[in-house]
Amino acid sequence: MNKLTITCPDDWHLHLRDGEVLPDLVSHTARQFSRALVMPNLKPPVTTVEQATQYQHRIKEAAQQAGYPDFVPLMTLYLTDKTAPSEIDLAVEQGLVGVKLYPAGATTNSDAGVTHIEHCDSTLARMAELGLALLVHGEVTHQSIDLFDREAFFIDEVLDPLRKRHPRLKVVFEHITTKQAVDYVEQSSALGQGQIAATITAHHLLYNRNAIFQGGIRPHYYCLPVLKREVHRQALLAAATGGSNRFFLGTDSAPHAKHLKEHTCGCAGCFTAAQAIELYAQAFDSVGKIQQLESFASFNGADFYGLPRNQGQITIEKKPQKIPANYVMGKELLVPLNAEESLEWSFLG
Ligand code: NCD
Ligand code: ZN
């Protein structure tokens, strides 16, 4: 099988930033995806529905300017200790798709995030009532917990108690990186315990944590949650390609300027948007499961969020391509994950 045509995919976890870089960034995603769920961790964060709808408008304008007038940005709200239940009513009214939980200090621009999730219980109750999804950056932040164990601790300390307090709450466990997260999502769904699903990035399917240290320190492979051991990568790959509708595509493509990645204190985030579908294709093909790509990339996410599946199609081909050394992002350069390396699949359009 050299060519594969699938229903147009969606990216259910994307960072587009704001301002002059928007047209450059949105064009990479709009070239391959019909819709993207845009993360709210701007500076300052998108904490009100009004900010979210204004941001959506700027993204649409940028997409139009980049030649993609049909691209649909779906929006999220940044949850804080102070988000009021009434903001949830407004979010639903304005067509926002989710509310994002960043534990304070967990990742890029998360300082305004939630300090204690119990502070948000009345807001979460309203979300459960109205069917608005909670999107979770699932890592604890205490310094006593090893960086590589943060996700596993989060499941027991935060996520499971939260879901027991709000059994009807729809939850997306974002960019999962561990076997424990895969098991948790699978067991919850097998037991019929509420509605939970997870996004998986291409880089967590393709790489284990050795990639960060291969022949020297490689900042472009550093993201949060950080890459994990091979056993976890294998579990993620089995979950993504195994046919369960609880796992779907979310690139977590997170652009940072080249000089801020290649820095004494380099930013977390991998830029994968420019070759997103090819990276996933490579991962699926590596275990002979390319036929499962369509449901993972184009059906499961839309179904979970209760949105219609896309109408159009895209085609990819098993034909090598070389990833460019960098891209332009406003006045800065942007280095993609695996820059200048070869990929086995190409996007035809
Ligand atoms: C993201 C970013 O740069 O905004 N970084 C990352 O490493 N994934 C934030 C996030 O999703 O954690
Ligand atoms: Zn992210």
User: Can you give the CATH number for the domain in which 225 is found?
Assistant: 3.20.20.140
In a domain, 96, yes or no: yes
In a domain, 325, yes or no: no
In a domain, 78, yes or no: yes
How far apart, in whole angstroms, are the C-alpha atoms of residue 99 and residue 287?
A: 34
Please write the tens of the pLDDT for every residue from 279-335: 999 999 999 999 999 999 999 999 999 999 999 999 999 999 999 999 999 999 999
For 349, the token pair is 């359009």
Number of the ligand 1 atom closest to the C-alpha atom of 256:
3
Residue type, 145: I
Q: What's the pLDDT score for residue 342?
A: 97
Residue type, 33: F
Going residue by residue through the chain, which has 349 residues, state the pLDDT in tens, using 9 for 90 and above. Answer: 799 999 999 999 999 999 999 999 999 999 999 999 999 999 999 999 999 999 999 999 999 999 999 999 999 999 999 999 999 999 999 999 999 999 999 888 899 999 999 999 999 999 999 999 999 999 999 999 999 999 999 999 999 999 999 999 999 999 999 999 999 999 999 888 889 999 999 999 999 999 999 999 999 999 999 999 999 999 999 999 999 999 999 999 999 999 999 999 999 999 999 999 999 999 999 999 999 999 999 999 999 999 999 999 999 999 999 999 999 999 999 999 999 999 999 999 9
In a domain, 329, yes or no: no
In a domain, 21, yes or no: yes
Number of the ligand 1 atom closest to the C-alpha atom of 222:
7
Give residue 4's Cα distance to chain centre: 24
Cis peptide before 45 (omega within 30 of 0): no
For 311, the token pair is 């109408």
How far apart, in whole angstroms, are the C-alpha atoms of residue 292 and residue 290?
A: 5
Ligand 1 neighbours (beta carbon < 6 A)? 15, 41, 107-108, 137, 223-224, 252, 254, 268-269
Distance in Å, CA 110 to ligand 1 centroid: 9
Active site residues: 252
CA angle 138, 206, 262 (to 5 degrees): 75
In a domain, 285, yes or no: yes
In a domain, 332, yes or no: no
Domain that holds residue 251: 9-311
For 254, the token pair is 């997170």
Distance in Å, CA 201 to ligand 1 centroid: 12
In a domain, 228, yes or no: yes
Number of domains composing the chain: 1
